[in-house]
Structure 1
Amino acid sequence: MYHAIVFLPLLGFLIAGLFGNAIGAKAAEYVTSGLLVVAALLSWVAFFTVGFGEGEAFTVPVLRFIETAGLSVSWAFRIDTLTVVMLVVVNSVSALVHIYSIGYMHHDPHRPRFFAYLSLFTFAMLMLVTSDNLVQMFFGWEGVGLASYLLIGFWYKKPSANAAAMKAFIVNRVGDFGFALGIFGVFVLFGSIEFGTIFASTQAFIPAEGAEAAAHGPAVLNFLGYELDRHAAITVVCLLLFMGAMGKSAQVPLHTWLPDAMEGPTPVSALIHAATMVTAGVFMVARLSPIFELSHTALLVVTVIGAFTAFFAATVGLVQNDIKRVIAYSTCSQLGYMFVAIGLGFYSAAIFHLFTHAFFKALLFLGSGSVIHAVSDEQDMRRMGGLRKLIPWTYWMMVIGTLALTGVGIPVTIIGTAGFFSKDAIIEGAFAAHSAAAPFAFVLLVVAAMFTSFYSWRLIFMTFHGKPRATADVMHHVHESPMVMLVPLFVLAFGALFAGIVFHDFFIGHGYDEFWKGALFILPENHILHEFHDVPLWVKLAPLAAMLAGFAVAFQFYIRSPETPKRLAAQHRGLYAFLLNKWYFDELYDVLFVRPAKRLGHFLWKTGDGRVIDGLGPDGISARVGDVTARVVKLQSGFLYHYAFAMLIGVAALVTWMMLGSNF
C-alpha cells in the first residue's frame, strides 16, 4: 500500500510527461488525477490504520541507495503517525488540486506538461515526508524545489513568472545550504543519517541533570574555526537545520520568494504555497524534534523568528490589493504560528495547525482562483466588488475559508471551525509555556490574529460586497465556475469546518499518547501539553476578541465607510508605503546583495575575464599572431624584382655562411 501511495504520482508524472502529447491533454488530466485520487484514498486508510491502530512505527524498505565506507543509506519509508498525517495532507490536497485544474487550466495549450509537473511535485513531497534518513529527506527537499521552480515559471513567456521562479529557486538555495551543513553536522555528531539511529543516540545528550550539563565537555565539532563542545555543537547544527526550514517555509528573512511565487497558476499556489511545500520546514523540524529538544537556544530562536514572521506578514497583508498576495502573506503568517509552537516544544499543535491550515488555505486559494476565473483573470480587488450574487457558491466557500482562517468559534466549547481549535491552541500554549520568548510570542500572535481577521474580511468585502468596480464588459461575463472546480471547494470546506472538531482531541487532547505513539519527542519537564488547557479565561477569550475587533474595523472601513481607508492612507503616507512595499525587504536585499553581486560580476567580466584572461590569453596571443602576420604579409609585394633581390640576398648570405664555416 505504501509503495502505491508514493509511486502512483511518479507513474502519473511519467505518463503525462513522456506521452502527454501522444495520448492527449484529456487523457493526461484524467490519468494523473485518477492516480492521485487513489493515492489520497490509500493515505486516509493509512492514517486511520496507523494513527488509530495499536502498532508501533515501522519501516518499509524500497532499495539500497548508497553504500560507501562509513556510510550506508537505504531508500525506505518511515511510517508513523507524523508520516501518515503528512500523507493525508499532501495527497488529499494534491488530488483536489488536480481535479480543480481540469477546469481552471481548460484553455491552456500545455496541460499535459502542467499535470506532469503537479504529479512530479507530489512525488517529491511524498519522498520528503516518508524519508527514513536525512539523505532521502534532502532528495525530496530538492525535488520539491525543482518542481516549484517549474510550476511557478510554468507560463515561461511571462517575464514576471520567470523572475519569480528564479527568485524562489535562489532564495531557497540559501536556506538549503544551511540545511546541507546541518545534515553534515548531524552525521559528525551521531555518526549516522538514519533517523532511528540518530534518535536512539540523542538519549545520551539528555542526562538526568539536563542537557545543560553537557555545555562544558570536550570539543566535538569544528565549525568556522571554532572548537565546539557538545551543547554548542547541537545548537549550531539545529540552527543550520532551521535555516533550511526558514527558506522552504518562508520565514523572515528568507520569506521574500513566497509572494512573488503567485505568478504561477492559481492551482500551483494552492498546492505548493498553501498546504504542502511551505509546510516542509515545519515537518522537518517536527521530525527532528529529538535533536531540537537538546538545544533551548535553538528553540528560542525558532520561537522568536516564528512570532516575528506571524506579525510581519500580517501587517503587510493589511494593505495588499492582489487577492492572491493577500492569501500568500496570510500563509506566511500562519507558518509563523506553527514555528512558534515548534519553538515552545508544542510540536503536536504545530502539526495540528499544519493539518487544519491545509484545508482552509487551499480552499481560499482555489476560491480566489474561482473568482479570478469569473472576472476574466483580474486579480486586483480594487477592480472587483458586487460579485456575491453572481458567483454565490464561490462566495460561500470563501466565507467558510475566512471563518476557519480567522478562528471563529466559542471558547471553552467544542463549537468552532478548524482554525479555531488549532490556532487558539498555539496562542494558549504561548501563554502557558515557560520559554523566555513565550510572552513576546503571545502578544505578537494575538495582534497577528487581529490583523488576520481584518485583512481576511477586507478581502471578502472588497471582492464580493459593495458596488461593482470592474468594467461593464467584465461584469457582463462574470459566471460561476463549473462543478469540476466547485466540488474540490466543497470537500475542502467540509474539512475547514469540521477537521478541528473531529481531530483536536487526538492531536492535542486526551488521546495524544495513543495517537502519536512517540512520533513527536518532547522533554519530560515540558508540561505545555497539560498546562495550555488550564490558562485563564481571558487568555482563551483573547483570540476571539482580536478576531471580532478585526472584523468590526474591516466592516466599518469597507462596508459602512469605504472612503475611510483612502483618507487614512493619505494621512499616513509613510506607514502605508512602508507596509505596501513589504517593509522594503526586497529593496534592502537589492542594495546589500543584488547590486554588489552585479557590480562584482561586471568587474570580473570586463576586467578579470576580458582584460586579464582573454587579454593575456587567447585574445592576446591571437592579436600578436595577427600583428606578426600583418608585417610578414608586407613582404609579399607581388613584384618579380623584389623576389629576385630577396633570393640574391639569400644566396649571398648562404655563401657567406659557407665560407665562414669552412675557415673554422
Structure 2
Amino acid sequence: MIDFALNNAWLIPLLPALAFALIVFVTKPSQKLSAFISILGILVSFVLSVAIGIGVLQRGEFLIEHPLKVVVPWFSMHGLTIDVGTQIDPTSAMMLFVVTLVASLVQIYSLGYMHGDPGFSRFYSYLSLFAASMLGLVIAPNLLQMFVFWELVGLCSYLLIGFWYEKNSAREAAKKAFITCRAGDFGLLLGIILLQVNFGTLDLQELAEMIPNFAQYTTLSAGALTAIAIVLFLGPMAKSGQFPFHVWLPDAMEGPTPVSALIHAATMVVAGVYLVGRTLTLFITLPTAMVFVAIIGGFTAIFAASIALTQTEMKKILAYSTVSQLGYMMLALGAGSLTASMFHLFTHAFFKALLFLCAGAVLHAMHNEASIAKYGGLKKYMPVTYWTMLVGCLAISGIFPFAGFFSKDLILEVTYAASSLSGHAAGPFQGVYTVLFILAALTALMTAFYMFRMFFICFHGELRSHDAHPHEAPKTMTIPLIILAVFSLAGGWVGWPGLGEGHAFGYFVRLGHFHEVEANWFLIILSTALALIGIGTAALFYLKKTFSAEAVAQKIPFLYKLSLNKYYIDEFYLWVINHIIDGFGRILWWVDVVIVDGIVNGLAKLTRDSGDAARRVNTGNLQHYAMVFFVGVIVLIMILTTADLGQLNIGLLGGVK
C-alpha cells in the first residue's frame, strides 16, 4: 500500500477531479449522491496521503536528499523541455496530509451547514475541484506545472467566494479576489519566464542545485537575480494576502463559512507560503531578497493584527487573524527557516480551520447574524462549540501545551537568532531582524487579546439578541470540530525535541543541513507571558468589565477609527481607481477617439472626397471628354507660349546690356 501510494501520488488530485466531473455531468440532480461522491473521493485521497506520510517517515533521510519523482514528458521544443508528474518529499507529504484532512472535515461539516441550499451539488463540485487543484499544486515537480494548478486554485476560489452570486456583495468579493490575485500572478509568471530564460529549467530540484552557484550557469548579476526573486514573490504576496495585496482576503468572507475554513486554513492562502518554501534556495542565496520577504511578513503580521483588534464580525476578525498568521509564516521564511514556516503552516491549518468552523456553527445558530455585538451567553446553548472554540483560541494564542505554542515559539526563535539581540547573527541586516522580532512579539500579544475579546463577547455574558434562538449544531458539524480540536491540542507535539533527533518536525521538513534546536527559555517565557497578558487584558475589558472598551476608544478616537476602518486602504484603492486609473483611462479614450480615430477617419474622408471628385470628372460623356481635351490643349498652348515669350524677353534684355 505504501509503495503503491508513493509511486502513484497522481491519484491523490485525480480522485477529487473525477468527483468534480461526475457531479457536474451525472449526479448533479441528486444532492445526496453528489455529496457522497465528493466526500468519498477526498477520503480516499486522505488515505493515500497518510500512506505517503508513513512512507516518508520510513525513508525520511533518503527522500530529503533525493525526492521521489515520477514524471513523463509534457512538451518539448528547442531550448525548453517540460515534464509533468509528481514529486514526493517530506514537505509535500506534510502538505498532502494537511490539505486532505482539512478538506475531508470541511466537506463532512458542509453536510449540515449547506443542508437545504439549492446549490448543494454545485457547492460540492466546487469543493472537489478546489481540492484537486491544491493537491496538484502540492506535488508539482516544476514551476510551470505548479503555476497551472496555482491558477486553477484561483479560479476555484473565485467560484466559491461568489457561490451565492445572487448577492451583490458576494459577486463583488469574488471579482476583487480574482483581480487582486491576478495582479500578483503577473509577477509570478514573469519571474518563472525569467528563471527559464536564464537557467534553462523550471524543475524545482535542478533550480535548487543551480541557484547557489548562479554565476556558473548564467550571466546574471546578484542584483538582477534579486529583482527576479522579488518579482516572483509578488505572486505569493497576493495569494497569501500579504500587504498591500491583503484587501481581497477579508472580503472573501462573503462565501459560505466552510469555504472560509478551506481557503483560510490549509489550502489557497498558504499556497504562496508553500511556493516560497519550495524556492527558498533562491531567497537564501540573495540576502536582500530574503530580508524583503521578512519585512513584508513581519509588517503584515502586526498590521493585520492591529485591524483585528476592533472588528465587529466574527469572520472578519478571523480573516485578519489569518493575514497576520500568514505574515508570521513569511517572516520565518525571510529568516531562512523552512522548518519554522512549514511547522506553523501545519499547526495553523488545524486551529484556524477549527475557529472558522466554530464561527460557522455560531452563525448557523444565530441565523447568520454577523455582528458579535448581538451575541453573548452562547456557552450554555452551544457547549461543544464553546469548548472547541476555546481550544482554538488557546492554540492561536500560543499557550502551552496547545499546537500554536510550539510553532509560534519557533518563529520567534529563528527571528531572534537572525537579529543583533542573539549575538550570533552575521550580515548587514541584523538591525532589521531585531525590529522584526519586536514586531513579532507584539503581534503575539495582540493576537491573544483580539481572539479572547471575540471569545468573551460571543460566549459569556447574556444573549443580546432577542430574535435569535441559538442551539448546538448537528453532529455532522460538531464531529469535525472535535477532531480539529484534538489536532489543535496535540498537533504541536510533533515538533517536541524529545520525540526525535533535535526538532522532530524539522528533522524531516527542512532545507539543506539540519541544525538541532535547543529550547530558548527566555523566548518561551516571553511569548507565554505576552499571550497571558493579552488574555488577561481581554478578560478585564470584556469578561469582568473592570475597564470600558468604549471609554478607551473615546480617548483615542483617531487610532480607533483608523483600525476600525482598516486604515482606509480600501478607500485609498477606490480613490486611485476612480481618479487616477479611470482618469488615465479617460485620457486614453480621448486620444483613441479624437487623435487615433480622427487620423483614421480623416484619411477615410480624404479618400472618399477624392473619389467623389474623380467620379464627377469621369462622366462617360464623349462630348464632355472632347471639351476637356480641347480646353486642356488651349491651356497647354498658353503655358508654352508664355514660357517662350518669357525667354524672348530675357534674350532681348541680355542684348541691350
TM-score by length of 2: 0.86
Q: Residue 637 of structure 1 aligns with which residue?
A: none
Q: Residue 648 of structure 2 aligns with which residue?
A: none
Q: 1:440-484, CA deviations, whole angstroms, 9 ceiling, x for partnerless residues?
A: 1211111101100000001111111112111x221x3x1211111
Distance 2:629 2:385 in 1: 106
C-alpha deviation, 1:346, in angstroms = 1.5
Match of 1:441 among 436, 442, 453: 436
Larger CA Rg, structure 1 vs 2? 2
Q: 1:211-253, CA deviations, whole angstroms, 9 ceiling, x for partnerless residues?
A: xxx6xx99824xxxxxxx1x22332222122221111111111
Q: Residue 244 of structure 1 aligns with which residue?
A: 235
C-alpha deviation, 1:588, in angstroms = 2.4
Q: Relative to 1, partners in 2 of residues 1:4 and 1:619: Cα closer, same or farther, differing over 3 Å?
A: farther
For residue 202 of structure 2, give the secondary structure of its aligned residue in structure 1.
Answer: coil
C-alpha deviation, 1:507, in angstroms = 10
Which amino acid in structure 2 is aligned with residue 407 of structure 1? G
Contact 2:453 2:538 (8 Å CA) reproduced: yes
Distance 2:347 2:269 in 1: 14
For residue 275 of structure 1, give the secondary structure of its aligned residue in structure 2.
Answer: coil
Residues 1:432 and 2:424 aligned together: no
Q: 1:10-32, CA deviations, whole angstroms, 9 ceiling, x for partnerless residues?
A: 0111111222434x111111110
Which amino acid in structure 2 is aligned with residue 423 of structure 1? K
1:465-544 pair list within 5 angstroms: 465-470=460-465, 472-474=466-468, 476=469, 478-505=470-497, 510=502, 515-516=507-508, 520-522=510-512, 529-530=515-516, 533-535=518-520, 537-544=521-528
Distance 1:660 1:551 in 2: 104
C-alpha deviation, 1:111, in angstroms = 1.3
Q: Residue 149 of structure 2 aligns with which residue?
A: 140
For residue 220 of structure 1, give the secondary structure of its aligned residue in structure 2.
Answer: coil
Distance 2:321 2:392 in 1: 12
1:25-174 pair list within 5 angstroms: 25-54=31-60, 55-56=62-63, 57-61=66-70, 63-174=72-183
Q: Residue 645 of structure 1 aligns with which residue?
A: none
Match of 1:464 among 459, 463, 478: 459
C-alpha deviation, 1:50, in angstroms = 0.8
Q: Relative to 1, partners in 2 of residues 1:620 and 1:573: Cα closer, same or farther, differing over 3 Å?
A: farther
Contact 2:496 2:504 (8 Å CA) reproduced: no
Q: Residue 635 of structure 1 aligns with which residue?
A: none
Which amino acid in structure 2 is aligned with residue 417 of structure 1? F
Contact 1:316 1:580 (8 Å CA) reproduced: yes
C-alpha deviation, 1:385, in angstroms = 0.9
Q: 1:467-523, CA deviations, whole angstroms, 9 ceiling, x for partnerless residues?
A: 2111x221x3x121111111111111110000111344499962659942xx6324x
Q: Relative to 1, partners in 2 of residues 1:144 and 1:462: Cα closer, same or farther, differing over 3 Å?
A: same
Contact 1:235 1:298 (8 Å CA) reproduced: yes
Q: Residue 421 of structure 1 aligns with which residue?
A: 406
Match of 1:328 among 316, 319, 326: 319
Q: Relative to 1, partners in 2 of residues 1:660 and 1:486: Cα closer, same or farther, differing over 3 Å?
A: closer
Distance 2:253 2:76 in 1: 41
C-alpha deviation, 1:298, in angstroms = 1.1
Which amino acid in structure 2 is aligned with residue 43 of structure 1? S
TM-score by length of 1: 0.85
Match of 2:346 among 352, 355, 362: 355
Distance 2:505 2:560 in 1: 48
Match of 1:365 among 356, 370, 393: 356
C-alpha deviation, 1:36, in angstroms = 0.6
Q: Residue 279 of structure 1 aligns with which residue?
A: 270
Contact 2:382 2:472 (8 Å CA) reproduced: yes
Contact 1:59 1:132 (8 Å CA) reproduced: no
Q: Relative to 1, partners in 2 of residues 1:254 and 1:76: Cα closer, same or farther, differing over 3 Å?
A: same
C-alpha deviation, 1:661, in angstroms = 8.1
Which amino acid in structure 1 is aligned with residue 434 of structure 2? P
Q: Relative to 1, partners in 2 of residues 1:60 and 1:17: Cα closer, same or farther, differing over 3 Å?
A: farther
Q: 1:369-428, CA deviations, whole angstroms, 9 ceiling, x for partnerless residues?
A: 00000000111101111111011111111111101110111xxxxxx1100111111112
Contact 2:212 2:285 (8 Å CA) reproduced: no
Which amino acid in structure 2 is aligned with residue 53 of structure 1? R
Q: 1:542-567, CA deviations, whole angstroms, 9 ceiling, x for partnerless residues?
A: 11111111111111111222771111
Q: Residue 643 of structure 1 aligns with which residue?
A: none
Distance 1:408 1:100 in 2: 27
Which amino acid in structure 2 is aligned with residue 493 of structure 1? A
Q: Residue 615 of structure 2 aligns with which residue?
A: none
Distance 1:564 1:612 in 2: 63
Contact 1:286 1:520 (8 Å CA) reproduced: no
Q: Residue 21 of structure 1 aligns with which residue?
A: 28
Q: Residue 306 of structure 1 aligns with which residue?
A: 297
Q: What do you get for the CA RMSD once the two structures are aligned?
A: 2.9
Unaligned stretches of 5+ in structure 2? 419-424, 613-618, 634-657
For residue 533 of structure 1, give the secondary structure of its aligned residue in structure 2.
Answer: coil
Distance 2:498 2:25 in 1: 43
Which amino acid in structure 1 is aligned with residue 37 of structure 2? V
- Aligned residues with identical type, % of pairs: 40
Q: Relative to 1, partners in 2 of residues 1:602 and 1:58: Cα closer, same or farther, differing over 3 Å?
A: same
Distance 2:602 2:475 in 1: 65
For residue 73 of structure 2, give the secondary structure of its aligned residue in structure 1.
Answer: strand
For residue 72 of structure 1, give the secondary structure of its aligned residue in structure 2.
Answer: strand
Q: Relative to 1, partners in 2 of residues 1:508 and 1:113: Cα closer, same or farther, differing over 3 Å?
A: farther
